[in-house]
Amino acid sequence: MAAPAYPAWVTRWVSGQWRNKKRPPALRPPRTLALADKVANRREQSTEATCITEMSVMMACWKQNDFNDAPCAEEIRTFYDCVAKAEKERKNQNEDTLSSRGNLPSSKVNKLLKRFPQITHYV
């Protein structure tokens, strides 16, 4: 198997020869690379609305029956069951778990940063 053929500039760049045989400038950060002590408190994006279909069916039933609850008892019960189920699922989600995007909430990140502070100097 033959080695791949690279352009001449790639070879010079890899070997450190760059612009009249000078190395490219070293990048130096203006500050030490360390994590901050805390992150900004960001509002968590709300999840999608739940039970929209059940609520629409219930309101359509109310409109057909001049906003009388008696004929729409089944639709109302279905809507309340859906709301109770959604609340139960929301409470079961633990704060320690990652969100659907895979990110920790800012409150959890701040707790971890307090627990494991950055060492900025050595004794």
pLDDT tens digits, one per residue of 62-92: 999 998 999 999 999 999 999 999 988 877 7
- Both tokens assigned to 4: 């791949």
Distance CA 123, CA 117 (A): 16
* Cα-to-chain-centroid distance, residue 64: 42
**Phi and psi based region of residue 25 (left: phi greater than 0; alpha: psi -120 to 50; beta: remaining):** beta
pTM of the model: 0.46
Report residues of the chain scoring pLDDT below 70: 1-4, 12-25, 44-47, 93-101, 120-123
